[in-house]
Amino acid sequence: MFIGDHLETFSIEQNEKPAIVSKEKVITYGEFTRIVITLQKKLYSIAKKGKKVALLMDDDTNFLHLFFAIIRNGCIAVPLDPKWTKNERDHALTISKPDLLITSHNIEHSEALSVINFDQLTRQQERNEDIKPFLTLDNLFYIGFTSGSSGKPKGFIRNHRSWLESFNVYENVFDLNSTQSMISPGPLCHSLSLFTSVHTIHMGATLYVSPQFDPIDLYRWMTEEKVDVFVGVPTMVEGITRSNQSNINTRVKRMIVSGAGWPQNSITHAKNMFPMAQLYEYYGASELSFVSYKELTKEVSGSSKLFPNVNVSILNEKRMNCKEGQVGEVFVNSPMLFTGYINNDEETRKVLSEFGATVGDIGCLEENGNLTLVGRSSNMLKSGGLKIYPEEIESVLKGMDEINEVVVIGVEDDYWGEKVVALIEWKNQDQRKTVEEIKNYCQTHLSSYKCPKQFISRESFHYTKSGKIDRQAIRREMEEDT
């Protein structure tokens, strides 16, 4: 079995069923399969099994046709972000070293890189021979990109087995099946949207694609169409609920959210707007896949259940097991882990250790085996000689109804070493709390050494392209201001 091996069956058993629905068109499974097989034949002579094929595409439907054609040919797909700068794109090409780039853009490129325009590819003559390379679960199929500590992307590698294992636990935990329709807004070069899209088609369900995130337009489309499952990040959900405050959607049955912690206020808004939906939040990473999850009931605890076939160890700095409730670094063992970083053995060894895989997240295991996340080691502050994790403080402050968003950073300080500073974006300037009121709130919920020493109001924050807070940009801005 490999990803996309059911397409021929789907084209017979559900030929007229929509595979992909966009604002412009509907592609049935019969049509989708015919296009994928045609592209497989056109690509066969220029991209043999094991070759890396980069994609720089704007149209989601064409992207998915190509993605499945590439991986079914035994090649490795390398999606590139059209919004990258030339330097970012060149860096990704340098570390991934693709054998071929298929694009709908006119771009500058080195003569050493073989490039073909998508329209040119579609005009090529189709080969008559039957093409079906022998694939195993261990065949590599995908190189994605995640930001490194320097801000430059690192290329992570996946094989078929890791995603197929992920598909299985994803379906079982969130009760997903082929009768449902799913949407995960955002460009398919981002791993969350790509995973959801590829899984939906592999499962034989209907995928709605929306590369641009317009909350009003997206909500209207989700309401008019029969979308059962929404997959996204907290900022997307909050954007939808804010922009459509007086509306109720009873169609959506699942909302699955990943990324930064989902604030309680935003969860409440989502419950009110999508009263029929089960709300889930999960923890994972591009390198780890799924680790833990929780269904968000009225009372939301900080801990989450481990996904099936996932084992977690909490280790201290000496790499000894921590006791229950004791905080340490999270190490994961599961069949869903990534293969490594492309051409970067040093960084791969940092993640894939003898103890399991780690991306530097900090947490503890509860008595019942659930996982509680505290923060990330790369974000850790050291103030007055004590370790502080910004995410813990941010989670507390987001409990204040008046606060829309908050980012906690460390500022160099002669006395404290790092002074804990909270940057706050208020929902309404007329409802801003005083510094004393915020301090009192923090002191009620946090140890005294974790309470911020300074509070600064902000009108807005920098976000990454995937909708997460851009801490590096915020730190740089703070350093420039001081």
Last residue of a domain, one of 325, 349, 377: 377
> Is the Cβ–Cβ distance between 341 and 347 less than 8 Å?
yes
Residue 198 located in a structural domain: yes
Question: Which residue intervals of 249-300 are DSSP H helices?
Answer: 264-273
- CATH number of the domain enclosing 348: 2.30.38.10
Residue 345 located in a structural domain: yes
Handedness of CA 193, 194, 195, 196 (dihedral sign): positive
206-208 and 181-183 strand pairing = parallel
100-103 and 52-56 strand pairing = parallel
Q: What DSSP state is assigned to residue 170?
A: H
- CATH number of the domain enclosing 192: 3.40.50.12780
CA nearest neighbour of 230 among 249, 204, 244: 249
Residue 246 located in a structural domain: no
Q: What separation in angstroms does the CA of 239 have from each of 26, 27, 213, 217, 228?
A: 27, 29, 9, 11, 19
| DSSP string over 140-158 | EEEEEEEE-TTSSEEEEEE
Same domain? For 67 and 31 the reply is yes
Q: What is the spatial distance between Cα 360 and Cα 132, in angstroms, rounded to a whole number? A: 40
In the chain, the percentage of residues whose pLDDT exceeds 70 is 94
Same domain? For 202 and 124 the reply is yes
pLDDT of amino acid 260:
61
Last residue of a domain, one of 194, 212, 230: 212
Number of neighbours of residue 401 by Cβ within 10 angstroms = 12
Residue 83 sits at φ, ψ, to 5 deg, of -90, -5
Q: Which two tokens stand for residue 343?
A: 């051409």
26 strand-pairing partners? 21
For residue 209, give every residue at least 6 positions away whose Cβ sits within 8 Å of its Cβ, in sequence order, or none: 20, 21, 22, 60, 61, 64, 183, 188, 197
> Is the Cβ–Cβ distance between 322 and 258 less than 8 Å?
no
Q: Domain span at residue 161?
A: 7-212
Q: What separation in angstroms does the CA of 444 have from each of 37, 54, 325, 374, 397?
A: 62, 52, 21, 18, 11
**Of the given ranges (143-152, 298-307, 440-449, 466-475), which has the lowest mean pLDDT?**
143-152
CA nearest neighbour of 336 among 156, 78, 149: 156
Same domain? For 351 and 425 the reply is no
**pLDDT mean across residues, the chain:** 89
Same domain? For 74 and 200 the reply is yes
Residue 136 located in a structural domain: yes
pLDDT of amino acid 414:
66
E strand map for 370-414: 371-376, 381-383, 386-388, 403-413
Same domain? For 354 and 394 the reply is no
Residue 410 located in a structural domain: yes
Residue 373 located in a structural domain: yes
**Of the given ranges (4-18, 304-318, 372-386, 415-429), which has the lowest mean pLDDT?**
372-386
Residue 220 located in a structural domain: no
- How many domains does the structure of the chain reveal? 3
Q: What separation in angstroms does the CA of 240 have from each of 195, 249, 260, 403, 422?
A: 22, 11, 17, 18, 26
- 264-273 vs 234-243: helix axis angle to the nearest 10? 50
Q: What is the spatial distance between Cα 102 and Cα 52, in angstroms, rounded to a whole number? A: 11
pLDDT of amino acid 389:
80
| DSSP string over 319-388 | S-BPPTT--EEEEEE-TT---EETT-HHHHHHHEETTEE--SEEEEE-TTS-EEEEEEGGG-EEETTEEE
Q: What is the spatial distance between Cα 33 and Cα 40, in angstroms, rounded to a whole number? A: 10
Same domain? For 359 and 389 the reply is no
Give the up-direction half-sphere exposure of residue 439: CA atoms within 13 A in the CB hemisphere: 10
pLDDT of amino acid 465:
65
Q: Which two tokens stand for residue 36?
A: 């994928």
- CATH number of the domain enclosing 398: 3.30.300.30
Most confident of 295-299, 374-378, 380-384, 403-407: 403-407
Same domain? For 118 and 134 the reply is yes
Coarse DSSP helix, strand, coil percentages of the chain, rounded to the nearest 5 percent: 35, 30, 40
Question: Which residue intervals of 253-298 are DSSP H helices?
Answer: 264-273
The amino acid occupying position 254 is R
- Return the higher-pLDDT residue of 445 and 175: 175
Same domain? For 58 and 149 the reply is yes
For residue 148, give every residue at least 6 positions away whose Cβ sits within 8 Å of its Cβ, in sequence order, or none: 154, 347
Number of neighbours of residue 245 by Cβ within 10 angstroms = 9
What mean pLDDT do residues 392-400 have? 88
pLDDT of amino acid 382:
76
Q: Which two tokens stand for residue 411?
A: 């500022």
What mean pLDDT do residues 314-324 have? 93
Residue 308 sits at φ, ψ, to 5 deg, of -55, 145
Q: What is the spatial distance between Cα 59 and Cα 66, in angstroms, rounded to a whole number? A: 11
pLDDT digits (tens, 9 = 90+) for 76-98: 999 998 888 788 888 899 999 99
Residue at token pair 């050493």: 112
Q: What is the spatial distance between Cα 323 and Cα 315, in angstroms, rounded to a whole number? A: 9
Residue 283 located in a structural domain: no
* Residue-wise burial string across 70-93, b where 16 or more C-beta atoms lie within 10 A, e elsewhere: bbbbbbbbbbbbbebeeebbebbb
| pLDDT band at 150; cut points 50, 70, 90 | very low
Question: Which residue intervals of 375-470 are DSSP H helices?
Answer: 390-397, 435-445
**Of the given ranges (67-71, 147-151, 174-178), which has the lowest mean pLDDT?**
147-151
CA-based max dimension of the chain: 76
Same domain? For 76 and 101 the reply is yes
Same domain? For 329 and 400 the reply is no
Last residue of a domain, one of 377, 403, 438: 377
What mean pLDDT do residues 196-200 have? 97
Same domain? For 316 and 399 the reply is no
pLDDT digits (tens, 9 = 90+) for 274-292: 999 999 999 999 999 999 9
Count the residues in the chain.
Answer: 482
Residue at token pair 């068109």: 25
Same domain? For 390 and 346 the reply is no
Q: What is the spatial distance between Cα 7 and Cα 265, in angstroms, rounded to a whole number? A: 42
pLDDT of amino acid 387:
73
